[in-house]
Amino acid sequence: MATYRSMLDLKIPSRRAASLTGVSRTTANRKPALPRDQTPVVPRNKLTAAERAEILAALNSPEFVDLAPMQVHTKLLDQGIYLGSLSTFYRVLEANKQVKERRRLATHPPRTVPELVATAPGQVFTWDITKLAGPVKGKYFDCYMMVDIHSRFIVGAHVHTTESGMLAVEMMKGIFGIHGIPRVVHADRGTSMTSKTVAALLSDLEVTRSHSRPRVSNDNPYSEAPFKTLKYGPEFPERFPSVHDAGAFISGFVDWYNHHHQHSGIGFHTPANVNYGHASGVAKERSATLAAARAKHPERFTTTTDPKILALPGPAWINQPKEITEQLAA
């Protein structure tokens, strides 16, 4: 290293000096480490422990506890007080693990997760309202629709120019008169769904009311699914000229959905077959057809059982409990 230094004193380039002496220029230019017994120099502007405690006390005082550090810093300056820079305020908060939202935040009690099961048609109905675009921008019609969750059968659908609890009650009375009174009626938390008129009707009929959690659309999947099928269909128009045209279209959709749509969630049966108990007969015919095909060409099949996707529907759940899901998986 001494030879390298002497060559630099003779104005020999550092690259050539390093090559001749075998010394790395990085090693040669590295600053020497402080002796272990040498105490590091304390910055002249470092705050004392008492000053840092004074800043923390000011930030957590009743007057400033819910204010941002910038506001506290400014208000102290307005009072003729300077305790430190704004960055120092943040460093003190960071050292005490207090860099967080300082305002008081609203808290809401946790909502109960709705857990509903239907083992047969007519036990649990869900309903919802969706908007249908009218003849001009800003004009909408309201489609009320109620579904049996076990069979996916649309038990009722009506189109009106407005949304109200009274119209929902009229729809429910008609549905219950035809399909019977269910054990539970589930809906989201819209104004019509939580209206006193709907609550009074269900209470009088001793029907349990169930509601989705706020802002959780997955709590009402059986009503959301037909709405998506409706609006993503190739024949769904961009706008409806009148409420009568909208009603006629929805009537045709309900007939197709109930009697012709082979639903993947119920073994590719139609909702009507499941709702009226015809699905088991259809399943037997399918099974016989598959058995004949296996007997004729056994080399084309890897199993002797029917595909699970064609199985008859079991219990229909809204938010199946975790322990039941784990048991079924096992």
pLDDT(40) > 80: no
The answer on 210 and 149 residing in a single domain is yes
Average pLDDT taken over every residue of the chain: 90
CA distances from residue 101 to 84, 95, 110, 230, 323 in whole angstroms, order as listed: 21, 16, 21, 44, 37
Instruction: Find the mean pLDDT for residues 267-286.
Output: 95
3 and 144 inside one domain? no
Measured CA angle at 33 (ends 27, 37), to 5 deg? 160
Average pLDDT over residues 150-161: 96
Residue 152 lies in a domain: yes
Based on the domain organization, do 54 and 138 belong to the same domain?
A: no
Q: Is 329's pLDDT higher than 60?
A: no
In a domain, 39, yes or no: no
Q: Provide the CATH number for the domain around residue 224.
A: 3.30.420.10
CA dist 324 and 115 (Å) reads: 12
Same domain, 152 and 259: yes
Strand partners of residue 130: 143
Statement to judge: residues 81 and 143 lie in one domain:
no
Phi/psi region, residue 189 (left: phi>0; alpha: psi -120 to 50; beta: rest), is alpha
Count of domains for the chain: 3
Alpha-carbon distance values, 5 to 27, 30, 48, 58, 282 (Å): 12, 13, 43, 56, 97
Helices 69-78 and 86-95: angle between axes, nearest 10 degrees: 130
Distance CA 273, CA 282 (A): 8
pLDDT of 38 > 90? The answer is no
Same domain, 77 and 152: no
pLDDT band of residue 217 (cuts 50, 70, 90) is confident
Query: Is 43 a domain residue?
Result: no
- 227: its two tokens: 């709405």
User: Is residue 192 a contact partner of residue 168, using CB atoms and an 8 Å limit?
Assistant: yes
**Is residue 144 domain-shared with residue 268, that is, in the same domain?**
yes
Q: Which helix (H) or strand (E) holds 141?
A: strand 140-148
Angle between helices 69-78 and 49-59 (to 10 degrees): 100
* 294 and 239 housed in the same domain: yes
What is the span of the domain harbouring residue 17?
1-30
CA 160, 163, 169 angle in degrees (round to 5)? Answer: 85
Indicate whether 22 and 82 sit together in one domain.
no
What pLDDT, on a 0 to 100 scale, did the predictor assign at position 18? 83
Q: Are 161 and 174 in contact (CB under 8 A)?
A: no
Name the band, by pLDDT with cuts 50, 70 and 90, for residue 37: low
Which of 43-57, 85-99, 106-120, 173-187 has the weakest average pLDDT? 106-120
Note if the pTM is more than 0.95. Answer: no
Domain match, 19 and 132 both: no
Q: What is the DSSP string of 15-72?
A: HHHHHHHT--HHHHHSPPPPPTTSPPPPPTTPPPHHHHHHHHHHHTSTTTTTS-HHHH
Q: Who has greater pLDDT, 33 or 217?
A: 217
